[in-house]
Structure 1
Amino acid sequence: MNSAVFAESPAGTGRLAGGNPLVIVWRRRGLFILAAAVVFAAAMLALVTLPVRYLASGSIIVAEPETGLSYPPAGWAQKVGDPADLESQLLMVRSPRILRKVMDAPGVADLVATECAHSFKIPFVGTPCSALQPGSAELLDYLQARYSFIGAGRSRVITIGYSSFDPDIARDMANVLINVFLEDHRRGLMENRSTAAKSLEEEMLRLDGEIARADAEIQAYRSEKGLMQGANASVTSERLTTISQQLASAETARDAVEAILSTVKSGGNVAALPAVLESRAVADIKQRLAMASEEAEAAAVVLGPRHPRLRSLQGQVATLKHGLDAEIRIVVASAEKRFDAASETAKALRTQMDKAKTDVSASLGDETAIEQMVRDVGVKRAQYAALYDKRKGLESEERAMLGSTRLVSLAERPLKRFFPKTAPFVAGGAALALMAGVGAALLRDRWQPAAPDGTRPVGPAIIARFPKTAGTGDLRYDLAAAADNPTVQVALKRLLADIEGRCRSVLLLSAFAGQGRSFTAMALATAAADAGRRVLLVEGDMRAPQLGDAFGVHPRVVLQDVLEGRAVPQAALIRLDAPGVDVIAAGPAATDPADLLAGPGMAGLLDWAKSYDLVVFDSPALDRHMDAGLIAVRVDGVLCCTGEDDLRSAEMIVRRLGNLGANMLGLVSTQARLAEREIPQSMETGHRRRM
C-alpha cells in the first residue's frame, strides 16, 4: 500500500481501507458510479447533438519520374533528392495565394454561401455569412479552417481534404483546390523555359552554319592541292603504306626462294626442303615408291633372286626413284624462276616507294594546314554537341517537371461521416467516465470529513479492544488471568474471526514497550489453537526475549540458529502449557539481529511454516529498533497494539509500514475503556488454560 488511511466500522469490526486506489474506489463506489455515469451521458449527448461533418479528400504526388525517359534529368533528380521538396509543396498548396485562386474559381462562392447558410452556428460567435464575399479576408479564414493537408512522407503524396456538413460540397471544394493547384504548378514550372530553349536553338544554328562552311573550305583546299582524302588518311599516305606492304611481301617471297637455292647449291638434302615437301607430285611418287619397296622386300623373302616377279618389282622401284629425282629437279628449276620474278618485283616496288615518299614529303605542309582546319571544325562540332545535350536535357527536364506534381485521384463523395464517429466517442466517453469516477473517488477520499464525534479525522480501524487491566508484568500470570476474563475471550474471538481467511502469517507490533504486544501474540495463538487450528508462535523479539524466562524453558536450538542456517525449524520447536501451539523461542539476547531478520533464513522459515494454519510473530517495540519493520514486509498481515492514548503514534506506524508495502490489518487496543454494553454478562469459556 502507498498509504494507510482506514475507516472504523461500528462496534469495532471495521475493515482496513488503505491507500490502494482500488480499495478507495470500492469504498467510494457510489460516487464513482455517479461521476462515471454523468460523464458518459454527457459524451453520448454530444454524440447525438453535435453537427455531422463529412470529409472528402483527393491526392496528388510530387516529383514522380516521367514515364519513358531514358535517363533522369538533373532537375528531376534534384527534386527527388531534396527531402524538403514535399514540405515546400505543402506550404504552397495551403498558401493564401492558392486559396485566393480557389475563391475566384467558378461556383465556389455559391458553394460557400450554401454551406454557411445551412451550417450549425453558435449565436454571436463566428463570422456571419454575409461577410464571406469573394476576395475577403473572412472567406480566406473560412476556407483555411475547412481545408486539410497531409503529406505522406517518402511516398511524396499530398492528401487534400475539405470538411463540410454536405458530402457533395465537400467533394466539389476539395476538387476545386486540387485542380487550381495543379494548374498553377504547371504554369509556374513552364515560365522562362521557352526563352532558354530558343536561345540554345539560335546558338546551335550559328555553329551548324560555321561547321558547314569550314567543311566546304577543307574540301576545296584538298581539290586545289590534289590531297584527296582516303578512308583513314590522305590518298598519298595510303598509297605509300600500300606500296610498303607490297614490297615487304615481295622481299619475303624472294628470301624464301633464295633459301631453297642456297640449299641446292650447298649440296644439302633437297628432298627435305619445304617446297619439295609441299609438292603434290613428289608426295604421290613417294607414296608409290614406298608401296613398291614394301612389295619387293616381301617378294625377296619368298621368291628367288631371279624370279620374274621379283625382277619386275625391282624395276618399278628403280623407275619411281628416277621419277622422284626428276620431279625434284623440276621444283628446283621452278624456284629459280620464282626467285628471278620476286627480285624484279621487289626492285619495281622499291622504285615506286621512293617516288611515293617524295610525294608525301612534298604534301606535308599542305596536310598540316588541313589538319589544323579539321581540328577547328572538331571544336565547333563538340560545342554543337554540348549545346544539343543541354537542349535535350532542358526538354527532358521540362517534361519531367510537368509531371513532378500529378493527380493521383480526385475527391469522391464521402459516404461515412467524418465527425462525430460513434466508436471513438463511445471509447473516449468510457475512458473519460472511468477517469472521472476514479478521480472523484480519490478526491473524495483525500478530503474525507472528520469522525462523527468531531475529535479527530477517521484513523486506522480498531478491530479488537481488550479492557484495561492492572497488569502484573508476569506474562504467564497475565495469560492465565485473561483465560478467566470473558471480555478478553470475546475480543480474542473477534480478532481471530477478523484475520482468519485474510492471512496465514501475522505480526504483532507496537510503538512503545509495555503496550501488550507479547501478551496479545500469546493470547491470539492460544485462541486459535482452542479453535482447532495448528498454530506456530515465533518470538521475533531477539533483542529482549522473555518467553524463556517467563515459562522457565531454555531450548538448545533457538530462532537465531534457524535464521543462521545451523538448524532446521523442526529442531527448534518447543511446547509450553498451551496445547496445540508450537513455539520457536528467540534464545539469548542478540546485539544486532537485523541482518538475520532480513536474510534468506527468514524466508526459509516462512516457507517451512506454510503447513500451519496460523503463524504468529512477536516483535520488539518500534521506538527502539526497526526489527518489526523487517518482519512486517514478509508476513501476510500486521496488527499494531496500542493504548488509546497513543493512537496518533499508532496511526503514524500504520502509514509508514503501509508505504513500505506491509499489509496493515488494523489496530488492537490493549487499554480500552469499555462501555457497560460491551462487557458480556455470560459466556461459555470451556476449559481454562494455565500457562
Structure 2
Amino acid sequence: MFDPNQATTGDSMPIIRQYLRIAMRWRYVILGVAATCLVLGLIATLLMTPKYTATSTIEISRESSQVTNFQGVERETSIADQEFYQTQYGLLRSRTLAERVANQLRLIDDRAFFERFGVNQDDPAFREINGRYAAAGRATRQRIAGEVLLKYVGIAPTRLSRLVEINFTSPDAEFSARVANVWAENFIQTNLERKVQATSYGRNLLQRELGQAKERLDESQRQLVGYAEQQRIINLPSQGSGDNKTAERSIVADELAALSATLSQATADRIQAESRFREGGRSGASSEALRNQAINNLRQRRAELAAEYQRLMVQFEPEYPQARALKSQIDQLDRSIAREEGRVSGSVEADYRQAADRENALRDRVEKLKSSYLDVRRRSIQYNIYQQEVDTNRALYDGLLQRFKEIGVAGGVGVNNIAIVDTADVPQVPSSPRLLINLVVSLLTGLVLGAAIAFALEQMDEAIADPGEVQRRLGLPLLGSVPKVKDVEPREALLDRKSDLVDAYLAIQTSLGFTTEHGVPRSLAVTSTRPAEGKSTTALAIATMLARVQRRVILIDGDMRSPSIHHLGGVGHDHGLSNFLAGEDNIDALTFQMRDLGFTAMSAGPIPPNAAELLTGNRLQILIERLLDHYDHVVIDSPPVMGLADAPLIASRVEGVVYAVESHGIRSSLVKTALQRLLAANAHILGGVLTKFEARKAHYGYGYEYGYGYGREKADANR
C-alpha cells in the first residue's frame, strides 16, 4: 500500500551507485563538456607563448665551516631545528634580494624587460626623457622590477637534503639562466653581509660594555685602596698563577704564622733540653757525659792505669813506688773526669734555661700578634666586601675583553655556509606550455565540470527515470515496469504472447496477487496523473492477463470525458457506463465482448455534460456490486487525477487503485500531488506501474531488459 512518508528525496542505494547512475544518465552531457574543455585546452596551448625555466642549485649548510674555534655572536641551535631552513627559504624569496638582482642586472632602466613581462607603463615612474626613463622614478621601478622577478622565481628545497633549487621562468631562455645564477650569487653575498653586520653590531655592543666594565673596575679598585689606607690594612700580593693563585695575604697573618711555627720549634727544643737536664740529675751521669769524647778518653786511660795498678798489687805493696805513682795518676784522672762531668751538666742546664726563656718570649709575641690579627680581621670585613667587588668587576672585564678579541678574529675570517652546487644552464626546451599535460588537465577539468553540471541537472530533474525511483521518490510500491513498444498497437502486442509487453504485464499481475489476502483485488481502477501516460493500456493489459488465467473479467471505460475502450472493441459508445449511472439497469445491453482478448467490456457511454455529477451518487457502487456477482474481477479505466474530480470518486468505490506513471514523462512533484488527492478520497493505492520505460534511457542502462523478449530471441534463434 502507498505510504507518503516513505517518499524520499535521496536514494537509499550506496553513494557510488548513485554517482554511477547520474553519470550514466547524463553521460552525453559529461562527454560533451569534457570534449569542449579538451578542444579549448588544445587551442589555448597552441596560442601560449613558450616559456623557459632555468635552475641553479645551492647548498645551505646548517653550520658554517669554522676556521677558528671562536663562535659567532648569534646563538647556534640544534641540527634538527627546521626554523633555520625555513628562514633561509624565506630570505631566498625576500623583496630585498629581488630588488638587488634587478639592480645588478640593470633591469630598472631596461624597457624591454618591462615590456617582456607586460608591466603597465602608465605610471609616472616610467616617464621618459630623451628616450630614457627619468631618474626620479628609479625607486618605484626598482620595486616593480623586484615584484616581477619574485612572481616568476621559484624556490624548491630538495626533500631530506640541504640542496635548494632556484628556478626562474621567462620567455627568454638566456635571461632565465642569468637571473637564476645572479639570484644564487646575491643570496650568498647577502648572507656574508648579514654575518659581517651581526659581528660588527656585536663588536660595538661589546666595546660599549667593555668601557663601562673598565670604569666600574677602576672605581672599585680606588675604593678598595682608599679603605685599606684609611684602616692601615697591609696585605701582601697574591702568590702563584692560574688555578693555584692565592688571594692577598695580611702581613700580620704571615708574621703570626711564622712566629707560630717558630714557637712550636722553640717548645720542642725546650722540651728536649729539659729532658736532657732531668735525665742528668736523676742518673748522676747524664747521657751527654757518656757521649762526651774527652770524658770517654779519660775513662779509658783510667781503666788502663787501674788494670796496671791491680797487676802490681799482686806482686807489690801499695807503697811500692811504681804502684804509688799509678795510684796518683788514677786519682788525677778521677778529678779530671769529675770536672768534665760537672762542666757537661752545667752546659745542659744552661741550654734548658735558655730554651725555656726563648719559648716564653716567643709565646708573648704570638699572643700580641693574635690580638693584632683579630683587630685586622674586624677591620677587614668591609675591605673584603670591596675586594669581592673588585674581583667581580675584574672577572667581568676580562671575560668581555676575551669575547671582544674572539669576535674580532671571527669577523675577519668570513666563512660562508652557502655554496653553489650547479649553475643554471641556458634551457634548450620550453618548460611551458606542455601539450600533453595541458590536455590531461583540460580533460580532467572538463570531466569535473561535466560531472558538476550533470549533478546540477540531476537535482533539477524531477522525472521518474527508472523503476527504482518509483519507490525512492514517490514512496509507491512498484508493481512492475512496462517497456515502450514502437510500430505496434498495444492490442496487437497483447495478442502476441511472446512480446515484451505481455511479459511485463504478467509480472504486474503476479505483483497484484500479493496486494491482498485473497490475491488480485476483485475491483480495481487504473489511473494516472495526466492523460497519455499509458493507463488505458495498463487497464486493458491487466484485464487480458486475468482473462488468460481463466478469470471472468469485465473492463469498464470510466473516462467518460475521453473514452477509448470502445475503439479497441470496434463498437461505438452510444451505450455504456454513463447510461447506467443515469438510471438504466440493463447491464447486458451496455456491455460487449472482446473475444480475441477473452473478457467483457463496457464503454463509457454517451459523454455526459458533467461526469463528476454522475459519479457522486451510489450508482457506481451498485454497478460494481452487481458485476461482481457475475465476474471475478472488475477493472475500471479511470480518468487522470489532475484537474478532475472523477478519479478520486472512482478510487473511493473500488478495492484498490493501480497508478500508472510515465517514465521520463512527468515530474515527480505532480505525481505526489495527485497521490495526495487520492489519499484524501480514502483510496487504497495498490502500487505503481512505470509505463513507456526505455532501458537505454534509464540511470543504469542495464538490467531492466532481462526477461523482456527472451522468448522471442529464442524463437528467432530457432528460425
Band the TM-score falls in, shorter-chain normalisation: 0.3 to 0.5
TM-score, L = length of structure 2? 0.41
TM-score, L = length of structure 1? 0.43
